[in-house]
Amino acid sequence: MHVDTHTHVVAGDQTRYPLDPRPGAGQWFREVPVSVEELLALMDEARVDRAVLVQAVSAYQHDNRYVADAAAAHPGRCTSVACLDLGAPNAVDELRRLAGEHGVRGVRWWALDGQPLVEPRPVWDELARLGLPVVVTLFADRLEELLTIVSSLPPVPVALDHCAFVDFSAGVPDSLDAVAEHPTVHCKASTIVLDRLAEHGDVRDGLSELAARIGSDRILWGSDFSQTHDRPYAELAELARHAASRLDEDARDGFLGANALRLWPELAR
């Protein structure tokens, strides 16, 4: 099974789901506003079976209505990851509402805007109780800080968006070795990562090194479509297959889907 762990969808009905752009976010959500129905059609053409719909913070900030409704409309094929203000006083109540009433199956921890990486203990305790993963979006200079915080919290699965945007110009950096010491932490080798690996060598060798350094059971593929839209979706899926072609069968299957199913088991049904 081929699972795309990092997709962004934008509603066609912008009256029901109005855009609320994050300042400085660019215009991809206006240039290529791909709805969940359009995404599923592209996935069918590209032989991708399942998708994790990750809240498009740049388009909607903390308004999770469309990502939740889109996944709920296509159970079995899609699941949703919402973005909360983890420091808000009602964060736990909002998580319970989204998970209980709307079937949200994960939380996006957004930390690209310089806000403090405060320890979100109450939210984390609730995530552990609900059995939900966390998707973390931050830059590499905060990776050590994140891992220190994660080590003090209950063991909730964590997926690092785009491998924390580390620099691959000299191969897999030593900063990612620390990830291997935290068994709950996974890395999304997204299109952004695969492109950067390809800029500095054979992407197949780069992904093989990443799997060896972190663990082949802890790397996940994600297209980043439609924020990444410089080529057709099918080419993004084919890049993932090509990058994984030198992995052994178990590692290849893990990267393309099996590892994702451990974080989002509802997609295996």
Cα–Cα distance, 24 to 3 (Å, whole number): 30
Sorted by where each starts, the structural domains of the chain and their CATH numbers stand as: 3-9+25-268 (3.20.20.140)
Distance CA 137, CA 203 (A): 23
Q: What is the pLDDT of residue 38?
A: 98
Tokens of 174: 């030593």
pLDDT band at 135 (very low <50, low <70, confident <90, very high): very high
What percent of the chain has a predicted confidence (pLDDT) above 90? 88
pLDDT value at position 226?
95
Whole-number pLDDT of residue 23:
83
Distance CA 223, CA 217 (A): 18
Reply yes or no on whether the pLDDT at 213 is more than 80: yes
Which residues face 159 on adjacent strands? 135, 186
DSSP label at 212? H
pLDDT bracket for residue 5 (50, 70, 90): very high
Query: Which whole number is the average pLDDT over 225-254?
Result: 97
- Would you say 42 and 29 are in contact if contact means Cβ atoms under 8 Å apart? no
**Whole-angstrom distance, CA of residue 43 vs CA of residue 74:** 13
Residues 6+ apart with CB under 8 A from 38: none
3-state secondary structure 73-129: CCECCEEEEEECCCCCCCHHHHHHHHHHHHCCCCEEEECCCCCCCCCCHHHHHHHHH
Give the confidence band of 204 by pLDDT, cuts at 50, 70, 90.
very high
Predicted pLDDT of residue 132:
97
- Position 225 scores a pLDDT of 98
pLDDT digits (tens, 9 = 90+) for 17-51: 999 998 877 899 999 999 999 999 999 999 999 99
Please, which residues have CB within 8 angstroms of residue 39's CB and are 6 or more apart in sequence?
Answer: 7, 9, 51, 225, 226, 233
How confident is the model over 220-227, as a mean pLDDT? Answer: 97
Supply the pLDDT for residue 77: 97
Structure tokens at 191: 């299109």
Q: What is the pLDDT of residues 77-130, one digit of tens each?
A: 999 999 998 888 999 999 999 999 999 999 999 988 776 677 778 999 999 999
The string of pLDDT tens digits covering residues 165-202 is: 999 998 889 889 999 999 999 999 999 999 999 999 99
Question: Looking at residue 22, what is its pLDDT?
Answer: 85
Cis peptide upstream of residue 226 (ω within 30 degrees of 0): yes
Query: In DSSP terms, which residues pair with 107 in a beta bridge?
Result: 82, 134
Average pLDDT, the chain: 95
pLDDT at residue number 86 = 85
Per-residue model confidence (pLDDT) at position 263: 98
